[in-house]
Chains A and B, each alone.
Chain A
């Protein structure tokens, strides 16, 4: 228990209100909120983010019993773009990139939350890399002979999609009939929820269900009744290489996977009424050097051409103010227990050792 003198307490609170004030989770964050944290109620977290938050952040949420995100400039930038985008025009693609541990995924989550609050339909793929590696079951697709299905990944995604977008599933209706097998089919005009149920019930056809969902959404969003946000984390997985192998040990290229194929179609800008926000990630990427972080390096020629034109958004390390804010947040949460961590010298040390990198700071602050 730290014994503070009265003046210190006051100083604490002053700093706290200036930098770290926990804002209510309103959607209107503007520039003067930059550097501050805002908290999301836990129920919302469960609803909006069934998947998608980084693992360490989930642990932090569990520890602190609250989910606090910092408002940072890249997120604010994206908000302005989204607010000012014309949804009659084809969907604009935003690519969030940056070095390792700077907060790209967190920015994406912020955007997702923002859009969810505003009532958009969010197609959030938490990590596209998971679809191109470590797949235990690869089945030949019933729809197209040369494609491969991934039942497990598809079903998990469908489940999470269901939790996040319940009410949309009732609203959107299918526009054609889909036959799943000999005895199963979905009629035209049925709510999309049924497709999802079908995919969850019949895991074999889950990948196709995902494809159907994407197709339907794409076809219907230009009507204007809802906005679509396609949020993909680790989009460079879609155009890279996979570590999967077919039964004859030949390597699988991404377009042979149903999920990836359908998602790629979603990433094209031939539809309007929404936005595509993606993140590049080296951490889960395959066959890419660890020093690569630029779009061209991570996407490769194919991906770059597919995504071109896009709006790049760079996420840098913490600025001075952001660092202070994060530091005070940890202090406030009593996460930094070490006596010297509370001193100015300790703060400087943390700044030096972490290099103002959010991930490094978080890892450093852990044992303290």
Chain B
């Protein structure tokens, strides 16, 4: 029986293994139906809403449907008859699908919720058809365990894993009974085991997603290689299309070409069409960590966090090295090296970065321990020896705020000192020239301020920088302003005049101005109107019925 199961599984995998074409890669992403007809150059990937391709794509093609796990009463007979039952035992999320849609000619790519969603209670409220109560053995007999899950099982992993899995299953099924299901699920969920054989009925434990540790790659190496080839080919095609030289077609050129060919008005840059190297699109994954015989390569595999622990080991080894070096120097009575690596402009890796590096999930505790170890290493007097090693885990902090340069005063023909400034507020832009030895006369766009700003509030805004510096009647001002309304123009001129006054004033007063908010650009702009609402915040009138 297991052999039959196995053969079936291999059959399925081989059938589904033929899928990784463009359509298949498209199928990874939750694209609507109509898009799939648009298959362009193969490596073009239409954007996914999440950076990770959707994990589970269930193919409801007629062939695979036939392989589905149909629930049938034991009366109907042994495994072998797999007509498309009207009630296919789909996964919980698809229970609502109902009878199969009659579209036989299309691949309906459905998108299951990612396994991170909590299943409703450990399967208790899971709407199960009544035949669940049959024995686990009978169930296994009936159900071909393979479906085209996201664990796109390459043909290479089917064979080695299958035997192990089959053995495990045999063991579990002997346990039998209702617990069988849970156990089977447990077996399927037992960590980074081979996922070639995977039952559909699993408990919540198996649905929990473990990104880095979710086991062997969802994309095989061959798949990635193929994607890379297609990408390169597509790059050449694109270069030809744009009339550029394929040899010197860089990623920026690609981006520009795509933006030109597929203009998109979407705000989020990540939602726009993009064509990038597959290594940037498909997240790095861990390779299979065990050999053909099922024996893991790394000695720390069974700790569960092999990369993390090996990293800790390595770091501690460096620490011991440093200590040994220190002892040697002490033995030779040489003073320890005092050159300390300057940690000022650098920071340690963040937890996410470390996880990305190790391809493993870490806990906060793990992370902090690692950082503490690194700190200890750096603090030691001879820590410089391992500088190269430490550099791998530190990042430069980019330059802090640029020091704002205050321009010196300029002098016009009459010898009067003046200074210019620019300001903006909402959509207004203002440029201002503040002259010394003035009487407080202000001209805006050639018009006197009393005429341009008849409202008192606007004139108060203009007054504010001068009053703050106690220079109310001492300067003349000539402004040009455009855009916006009266209030925003006043605000723009205020900012511009404050910036211009910096040149007349001491550093301390500049700091006071900054703290008073005179030198800060007001970031408030008009909020966007949302669909389904009348305005940015205002909703439509609520009618009870």
Interface of A toward B, CB cutoff 8 Å = 99, 291, 345, 348-349, 351-353, 355, 357, 360, 364
B358 at the interface (CB under 8 A from A): no
A341 to chain B, nearest CB (A): 14
Give the secondary structure class of B's interface.
helix
A255 to chain B, nearest CB (A): 33
B466 at the interface (CB under 8 A from A): yes
Instruction: Tell me whether A349 and B463 are in contact (CB under 8 A).
Output: yes
Contacts of A349 in B (CB 8 A): 463, 467, 472
Contacts of B449 in A (CB 8 A): 355
Q: How far is the CA of A360 from the CA of B440 in the complex (A)?
A: 16
Would you mind naming 24 contact pairs between A and B with Cβ atoms under 8 Å apart? A99-B451, A291-B451, A345-B467, A348-B440, A348-B467, A348-B472, A348-B473, A349-B463, A349-B467, A349-B472, A351-B472, A351-B473, A352-B440, A352-B463, A352-B466, A352-B473, A353-B456, A353-B463, A355-B449, A355-B450, A355-B459, A357-B450, A360-B450, A364-B456
Instruction: Tell me whether B460 and A353 are in contact (CB under 8 A).
Output: yes
Contacts of A364 in B (CB 8 A): 456
Closest Cβ neighbor of A350 among chain B residues: B472
Instruction: Tell me whether B472 and A355 are in contact (CB under 8 A).
Output: no
B284 at the interface (CB under 8 A from A): no
Q: How far is the CA of A221 from the CA of B456 in the complex (A)?
A: 49
Instruction: Tell me whether A345 and B473 are in contact (CB under 8 A).
Output: no
Contacts of A360 in B (CB 8 A): 450
B448 at the interface (CB under 8 A from A): yes
B470 at the interface (CB under 8 A from A): yes
Most A CB within 10 A of own CB, among B440, B450, B459: B450
Closest Cβ neighbor of B470 among chain A residues: A345
Closest Cβ neighbor of B450 among chain A residues: A355
Q: How far is the CA of A345 from the CA of B467 in the complex (A)?
A: 8
Interface of B toward A, CB cutoff 8 Å = 440, 448-451, 456, 459-460, 463, 466-467, 470, 472-473
Given A349-B472, A353-B463, 19 new contacts (CB under 8 A): A291-B451, A348-B467, A348-B472, A348-B473, A349-B467, A351-B440, A351-B472, A351-B473, A352-B459, A352-B466, A352-B467, A352-B472, A353-B456, A353-B459, A353-B460, A355-B449, A355-B450, A355-B459, A357-B450
Q: How far is the CA of A99 from the CA of B463 in the complex (A)?
A: 22
Closest Cβ neighbor of A363 among chain B residues: B456
Q: Report, nearest first, the 9 A-B pairs whose CB atoms are least far apart.
A: A348-B472, A355-B450, A348-B473, A352-B463, A353-B459, A352-B472, A352-B440, A357-B450, A349-B467
Q: How far is the CA of A351 from the CA of B442 in the complex (A)?
A: 12
Instruction: Tell me whether B448 and A355 are in contact (CB under 8 A).
Output: yes
Q: How far is the CA of A357 from the CA of B456 in the complex (A)?
A: 13
Q: How far is the CA of A99 from the CA of B472 in the complex (A)?
A: 24
Contacts of B450 in A (CB 8 A): 355, 357, 360
Contacts of B448 in A (CB 8 A): 355
A188 to chain B, nearest CB (A): 55
Q: How far is the CA of A75 from the CA of B450 in the complex (A)?
A: 24
Instruction: Tell me whether A345 and B456 are in contact (CB under 8 A).
Output: no
Contacts of B473 in A (CB 8 A): 348, 351-352
B477 to chain A, nearest CB (A): 11
Q: How far is the CA of A348 from the CA of B470 in the complex (A)?
A: 9
Q: How far is the CA of A357 from the CA of B459 in the complex (A)?
A: 13
A290 to chain B, nearest CB (A): 9
Contacts of A291 in B (CB 8 A): 451
Q: How far is the CA of A364 from the CA of B450 in the complex (A)?
A: 13
Q: How far is the CA of A210 from the CA of B466 in the complex (A)?
A: 56
Most B CB within 10 A of own CB, among A291, A351, A352: A352
Contacts of B466 in A (CB 8 A): 352
Q: How far is the CA of A349 from the CA of B464 in the complex (A)?
A: 10
Closest Cβ neighbor of B447 among chain A residues: A291
Contacts of B456 in A (CB 8 A): 353, 364
Q: How far is the CA of A345 from the CA of B463 in the complex (A)?
A: 12
Contacts of A355 in B (CB 8 A): 448-450, 459
B469 to chain A, nearest CB (A): 11
Closest Cβ neighbor of B472 among chain A residues: A348
Q: How far is the CA of A357 from the CA of B470 in the complex (A)?
A: 22
Closest Cβ neighbor of B459 among chain A residues: A353
Contacts of B440 in A (CB 8 A): 348, 351-352
Closest Cβ neighbor of A357 among chain B residues: B450
A298 to chain B, nearest CB (A): 16
Q: How far is the CA of A118 from the CA of B460 in the complex (A)?
A: 45
Q: How far is the CA of A349 from the CA of B468 in the complex (A)?
A: 11
A355 to chain B, nearest CB (A): 4
Closest Cβ neighbor of B460 among chain A residues: A353
Closest Cβ neighbor of A317 among chain B residues: B450
Contacts of A345 in B (CB 8 A): 467, 470, 472
Closest Cβ neighbor of B456 among chain A residues: A353
A321 to chain B, nearest CB (A): 13
B471 to chain A, nearest CB (A): 9
Closest Cβ neighbor of B440 among chain A residues: A352
Contacts of B460 in A (CB 8 A): 353
Q: How far is the CA of A352 from the CA of B470 in the complex (A)?
A: 12
A27 to chain B, nearest CB (A): 34
Contacts of B467 in A (CB 8 A): 345, 348-349, 352
Q: How far is the CA of A364 from the CA of B440 in the complex (A)?
A: 18
Closest Cβ neighbor of A354 among chain B residues: B450
B449 to chain A, nearest CB (A): 7
B434 to chain A, nearest CB (A): 14
Q: How far is the CA of A348 from the CA of B449 in the complex (A)?
A: 16
Q: How far is the CA of A357 from the CA of B473 in the complex (A)?
A: 15
Contacts of B451 in A (CB 8 A): 99, 291
B532 to chain A, nearest CB (A): 43
Contacts of B463 in A (CB 8 A): 349, 352-353
B444 to chain A, nearest CB (A): 12
Contacts of A348 in B (CB 8 A): 440, 467, 472-473
Q: How far is the CA of A352 from the CA of B472 in the complex (A)?
A: 7
